[in-house]
Amino acid sequence: MTDKFISIEGIARRYPGAGGGTTTVFEDFWLSMTRGEFGCVIGHSGCGKTTVLNILAGLDEPSEGTVIVDGQGIEGTSLDRAVIFQSHALLPWRTVLGNVGYAVSSKWRKWDRARVRAHAQKFIDLVGLTGSEHKHPSELSGGMKQRVGIARALSITPKIMLMDEPFSALDALTRGTLQDEVRRICLETGQTTFMITHDVDEAIFLADKIFLMTNGPGAVLAEIVENPLPKERGRIDLHRHPYYYALRNHIVDFLVSRSKSFAAEVTEHDPRHVPTVRPGVGEPVIVSPPRVVEPNPAQSVAR
């Protein structure tokens, strides 16, 4: 499990600042993911999450450092990397089948119409939109539009799927259903996925690794938390798992306090927390192993 399918190596993003200086959004940012892993980034607004995702997508470039995907440096956008944004970004004049088919024919330009349609249909079925192939985006609910976005992304069998807060505009029920779908599909297809979210429970449910970013400017990736929950976990009974509260508290504590004070912090081992290892400056992040955490009986009973 040490092979790096995605490797972000010491990247920084700087902009010209007011008065001739520079503003550093983030710097010395390292992370790696193995093939098939699901990674979620959490951090406060403005810390640079979307910028990191755009760099992975090839829509933006780092001011320093490199990003390697499957052994190759990123140069511009590619059909190897599919992006799903918060808003669905579908072509309004095309049907569901037309939107997914368009992506398929962009990737496999020599395929005939029948082959493109059959391939697109497979992914429309996978996201549960069978029967809605001929609808236009204006006839679809928000959740259905995001499903088309997911089908379109998966249909080009990308090396990575990049998702920028894909469910944040949806109501809670739809969001939950889509989280279930995405988890099922990613496990079934072994899809490597990098996702940004504001929702701690979404990250705990979906992610193998949770990346915690400090506040900007000058943000860094403070911790990589390895999810200690078993692969076979349900969204509804997530909170019943004995490691759940320790993990959730650790992330919430980070967001509430340590994301601001991180630079000055001396990391001490606290057995109540899921331990993580802080990256040394300029070195790749070390991922901590999951540890057994004592369940909190009061919380278990309360639920």
Ligand X SMILES: Nc1ncnc2c1ncn2[C@@H]1O[C@H](COP(=O)(O)OP(=O)(O)O)[C@@H](O)[C@H]1O
Residue 45 interacts with ligand X (CB under 6 A): yes or no: yes
In 104-232, DSSP assigns E strands to 160-164, 193-196, 209-213, 221-226
Q: Which residues, other chains included, contact 144 with Cβ-Cβ below 8 Å and sequence gap of 6+?
A: 129, 132
Taking CB within 5 to 8 Å according to partner kind, which of Mg ion, ligand X, none is near residue 25? ligand X
Count of Cβ atoms closer than 10 Å to residue 254 Cβ: 24
How do strand 209-213 and strand 221-226 relate by DSSP bridges?
antiparallel
| 11, 32, 42, 49: residue in contact with ligand X (rule CB under 6 A) | 49
| 50, 121, 155, 214: residue in contact with Mg ion (rule CB under 5 A) | 50
Tell the smallest beta-carbon distance from residue 291 to Mg ion (Å). Answer: 31
Residue 168 interacts with ligand X (CB under 6 A): yes or no: no
Tell the smallest beta-carbon distance from residue 86 to Mg ion (Å). Answer: 8
Smaller CB distance to ligand X: residue 15 or 93? Answer: 15
Cβ(221)–Cβ(29) below 8 Å: yes
Cβ(93)–Cβ(136) below 8 Å: yes
Smaller CB distance to Mg ion: residue 50 or 155? Answer: 50
Residues in 86-145 that interact with ligand X by CB under 6 A? none
Tell the smallest beta-carbon distance from residue 16 to ligand X (Å). Answer: 8
| 6, 8, 30, 48: residue in contact with ligand X (rule CB under 6 A) | 48
Residue 280 CA to residue 121 CA, distance in Å, equals 47
Residue 21 interacts with ligand X (CB under 6 A): yes or no: no
Residue 221, phi then psi, degrees to nearest 5: -85, 110
Q: Which stretch binds ligand X (CB under 6 A): 45-53, 68-76, 122-130, 131-139?
A: 45-53
